[in-house]
Amino acid sequence: MDLLNTLVEKGLRRELPTREEALAVLATSDDELLEVVAAAGKVRRQWFGRRVKLNYLVNLKSGLCPEDCSYCSQRLGSKAEILKYTWLKPDEASQAAAAGVAGGAKRVCLVASGRGPTDRDVERVGKTIEAIKEQNEGVEVCACLGLLSDGQAERLREAGADAYNHNLNTSEATYGDITKTHTYADRVDTVQKAHAAGLSACSGLIAGMGESDEDLVDVVYALRELDSDSVPVNFLIPFEGTPLAKEWNLTPQRCLRILAMVRFVCPDVEVRIAGGREVHLRSMQPLALNIANSIFLGDYLTSEGQAGQADLDMIADAGFEVEGAGTTTLPKHRADALAAAGATGGCGSTASAGCGSEASAEGAGCGGHAEEAGGCGPCGGHAAPVRTSDEARTDLVAVRRRGAGTDLAPNA
């Protein structure tokens, strides 16, 4: 297939595909799917071998968010019956993080719901980062706290944060249809603040919100322009109690094509399969490891993931290996560039610090890790893709009832 040969060649050279080529990936047929996965796999192996980085989420503060992000189970007005609690103490967060590290996680992602942190919140998170790093040697820490004010990224870096997550989620043209309380430009500004402070920038998207192929390509091109070191790809989890709980627009095949497009546009960055992989990829998850080089271990912010041991078994059975703490995540040219920018360790640049992310991601922290986003509806003026499946797998959507904020052991 000439298209795929061209995309592989460009990916190996870190050359940007044309928009038409990116759109063509999303338009491939199911009969061509294995060829698409194999082509994306060649690019993935060039820059990341057969390593899979494990990340672990700790929800520092759950629910009660004043923002109206339509996809989020923690949004203003959400009726989703999620856990709600205020800030975890540093030692509580450190204990939660230790469970993920013991399960093989190389990075801990600290997420808090809300529009953005106050200076007191930044100080609180700084103490939590210190506690985690004191008890877990070599762990990377990514913060996801929402929109940043001037100077806050620098203070997080001084406290030991290696990265900052803030997802763009969807295209600029359609962003106003999913959120009214802040803008797409606000999100871009926060990612740029993190970059300027020497933090590794982590920013991704949510697929399945009624967006068009053009919207998906637009947001991925924007992420490449922002030079994010890691791109979490979230698949919408339609939570009951959120605006579009009935939106089920994704199939496993569609998810694989989206991941492949992201890999071709961002060949040398950490592409993470984030929230919704269990719901939408289902039994095709191992195939997705041929494209992405990173996943979240265990549960997400407000929803449950598959068992942590099942994640580890899946990686081994698919012929991949868990990336160790002593291995640099990013290719040398990206790690060197991050170090030159003044990062304290950066995205995989050393054995003791680095990057990799929402969740997630999820809609916490005003658009941090979006792993259990609750749906935003058909966005903007673009035509939504033809629904390819009416199958609503509500049986796969489970609210988290264990781990942080509870007395039950976490899933790691």
DSSP string for 246-296 = T-----HHHHHHHHHHHHHHSTTSEEEE-TTIIIIIGGGHHHHTTT--EEE
The span from the CA of 145 to the CA of 204, in Å, is 15
Query: What value does the mean pLDDT take over residues 85-111?
Result: 94
- Give the pLDDT band of residue 106 (cuts 50, 70, 90): very high
Which residue among 65, 144, 266, 347 is the active-site one?
A: 65
**For the segment 123-177, what is each residue's pLDDT rounded down to a tens digit?**
999 999 999 999 988 899 999 999 999 999 999 999 999 999 999 999 999 999 9
Which positions make up the binding site for [2Fe-2S] cluster?
A: 109, 142, 202, 272
The span from the CA of 41 to the CA of 50, in Å, is 10
Query: What value does the mean pLDDT take over residues 59-81?
Result: 76
- Residue 363 near residue 353 (C-beta atoms within 8 A): no
**For the segment 247-273, what is each residue's pLDDT rounded down to a tens digit?**
899 999 999 999 999 999 999 999 999
The span from the CA of 253 to the CA of 202, in Å, is 25
Give the model's pLDDT for residue 409. Answer: 85
Q: Where are the domains of the chain?
A: 2-396
Let me know if 355 is a catalytic residue.
no
Residue 309 contacts by C-beta under 8 Å, 6 or more apart in sequence?
none
Nearest to 140 by CA among 121, 161, 125: 161
Which residue among 51, 69, 144, 255 is the active-site one?
A: 69
- For residue 283, count other CB atoms closer than 10 A to its CB: 7
- Residue 43 near residue 8 (C-beta atoms within 8 A): yes
Query: Does 91 score more than 50 pLDDT?
Result: yes
What pairs with residue 144 in β-bridges?
A: 111
- Residue 359 near residue 166 (C-beta atoms within 8 A): no
Let me know if 400 is a catalytic residue.
no
- Residue 73 near residue 303 (C-beta atoms within 8 A): yes
Which residue among 272, 277, 334, 400 is the active-site one?
A: 272
- Give the pLDDT band of residue 233 (cuts 50, 70, 90): very high
Which residue among 51, 72, 257, 355 is the active-site one?
A: 72
Which residue among 124, 144, 202, 254 is the active-site one?
A: 202
What's the pTM value of the predicted model, to 2 decimals?
Answer: 0.87
The dihedral through the CA atoms of 373, 404, 317, 44 has a sign that is: positive
Let me know if 202 is a catalytic residue.
yes
Give the model's pLDDT for residue 389. Answer: 52
CA distances, 322 to each of 48, 58, 140 (Å): 12, 20, 15
Which positions make up the binding site?
A: 65, 69, 72, 109, 142, 202, 272
Which residue among 51, 75, 107, 109 is the active-site one?
A: 109
Q: Which carries the bigger pLDDT value, residue 285 or residue 407?
A: 285
Alpha-carbon torsion angle 311, 312, 314, 315, nearest 10 = 120
The span from the CA of 214 to the CA of 257, in Å, is 14
Question: Residue 152 gets which letter from DSSP?
Answer: H
Let me know if 109 is a catalytic residue.
yes
Let me know if 72 is a catalytic residue.
yes
Nearest to 143 by CA among 169, 114, 99, 109: 109
Give the model's pLDDT for residue 156. Answer: 98
Query: What CATH number matches the domain at 2-396, 3.50.50.60, 3.20.20.70, 3.40.50.1100, 1.10.10.10?
Result: 3.20.20.70
Which positions make up the binding site for [4Fe-4S] cluster?
A: 65, 69, 72
Let me know if 347 is a catalytic residue.
no
Share of the chain above pLDDT 70, in %: 86
Query: Does 67 score more than 90 pLDDT?
Result: no
Backbone angle region of 305, left / alpha / beta, with phi > 0 → left and psi within -120 to 50 → alpha: beta
- Of all helices (H) and strands (E), which one includes residue 94? helix 90-102
What pairs with residue 112 in β-bridges?
A: 61
**Most confidently predicted of 93-102, 243-252, 295-304, 364-373:** 93-102
Question: Residue 357 gets which letter from DSSP?
Answer: -
Let me know if 379 is a catalytic residue.
no
